[in-house]
């Protein structure tokens, strides 16, 4: 099999490439240049995609004896990830740029180019497993749930999964990966994992957004609509936030208040008690299947939902709601398997806390990733009970 190994410069992608070579595949390494002005030196575990990372990836490729290239996808990354991130925050939503990067860059732009060049698969260092089931290829959790990355891969479609290769999926721990890298003589064996948003390496998301989103002072309201403070830009707040609210009026019961919602049209932030963050129902669009579901989804079906990369899944009942052509917006997309556009309506068996529009909800059945959607609406537990 002809394999294109995506090499970030970290230990996971290095070992993934090494395993692909060891398995007898014809492997070519590629590093994605995602910034026109990359930093030359990492700061510990902050940031990624630096010149240093590209050099680390090249050294690994040289050791493995495979061809190595750097592909410039910086313009595509800016348009599909960075600009989207800015637009979502400006609209009062909380996006996940890693999901968008996997969807638009690593498993669309990269995969499309790889297939056009005659590669059979793209290998990455993600911790997830692929299973060839009765209805086609399925995406499953990695054997090591503490390192499982199936959530951020939930945007992959059936056609994309057919060309994916995750050599680390069955490895039970990151420590074993590092030990294997040491044994193979890879210099990145003890390189720190990257975290935070790659294009905000100092971790100051609020400060970065202040340079990219126009700041407009506005009101902070309580649930009753009373003004309890003022903000210097709604984009600097996220649902569930407690610190840094600078409220001018304490709550009557003296309890701390949290951000409940952001209203971009009126430029208002709404705060309230912690219990008001408890969500009993979520809904949204941009739904996609991660492979053929294997059942007829016309009726409500049981699943689990996960709304953050390292959150625990929660049991739920899901319903797909077809969207008429006249009602479609740019937030909707055609489902490749069934050629329909749907919204997803999810009733939660257990409340979720701090759900924000713009987050990605990934659906599971057991260890299998069923699909995903972008959250548009969240209904508090009390409101859900009243509606019922």
Residue from 98, 101, 164, 303 carrying the catalytic annotation: 101
* Residue 22 · residue 14 · CB < 8 Å: no
Active site residue 101: yes
Active site residue 48: no
Residues classed as catalytic: 101, 198
């Amino acid at each position: 099999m002809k394999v294109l190994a995506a090499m970030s410069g970290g230990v996971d992608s290095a070992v993934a490439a090494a395993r692909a070579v060891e398995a007898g595949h014809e492997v070519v390494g590629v590093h994605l240049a995602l910034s026109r002005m990359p930093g030359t030196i990492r700061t510990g575990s902050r940031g990624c995609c630096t010149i240093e990372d590209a050099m680390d990836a090249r050294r690994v490729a040289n050791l493995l004896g495979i061809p190595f290239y750097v592909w410039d996808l910086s313009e595509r990354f800016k348009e599909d990830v960075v600009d989207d991130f800015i637009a979502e925050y400006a609209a009062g939503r909380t996006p996940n740029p890693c999901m968008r990067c996997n969807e638009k860059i690593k498993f669309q732009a990269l995969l499309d180019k790889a297939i056009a060049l005659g590669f059979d698969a793209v290998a990455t260092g993600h911790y997830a497993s692929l299973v060839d089931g009765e209805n086609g290829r399925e995406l499953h959790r990695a054997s090591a749930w503490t390192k499982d990355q199936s959530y951020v891969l939930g945007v992959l479609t059936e056609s994309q999964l057919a060309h994916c290769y995750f050599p680390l999926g069955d490895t039970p721990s990151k420590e074993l990966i590092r030990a294997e890298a040491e044994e193979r003589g890879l210099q990145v064996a003890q390189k720190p994992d990257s975290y935070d948003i790659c294009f905000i390496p100092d971790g100051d998301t609020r400060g970065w957004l202040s340079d990219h989103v126009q700041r407009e002072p506005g009101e902070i309201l309580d649930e009753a609509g009373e003004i309890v403070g003022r903000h210097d830009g709604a984009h600097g707040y996220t649902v569930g936030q407690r610190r840094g609210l600078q409220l001018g009026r304490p709550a009557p019961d003296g309890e701390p208040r949290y951000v409940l919602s952001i209203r971009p049209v009126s430029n208002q932030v709404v705060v309230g008690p912690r219990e008001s963050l408890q969500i009993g129902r979520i809904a949204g669009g941009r739904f996609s299947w991660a492979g053929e579901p294997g059942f007829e989804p016309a009726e409500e079906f049981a699943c689990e939902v996960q709304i953050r990369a390292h959150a625990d899944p929660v049991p739920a009942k899901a319903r797909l709601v077809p969207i008429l052509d006249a009602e479609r917006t740019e937030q909707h997309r055609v489902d490749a398997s069934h050629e329909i556009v749907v919204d997803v309506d999810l009733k939660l068996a257990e409340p979720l806390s701090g759900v924000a529009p713009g987050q990605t909800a990934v659906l599971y059945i057991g260890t299998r990733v069923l699909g995903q959607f972008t959250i548009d609406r969240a209904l508090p537990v009390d409101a859900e009970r009243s509606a019922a």
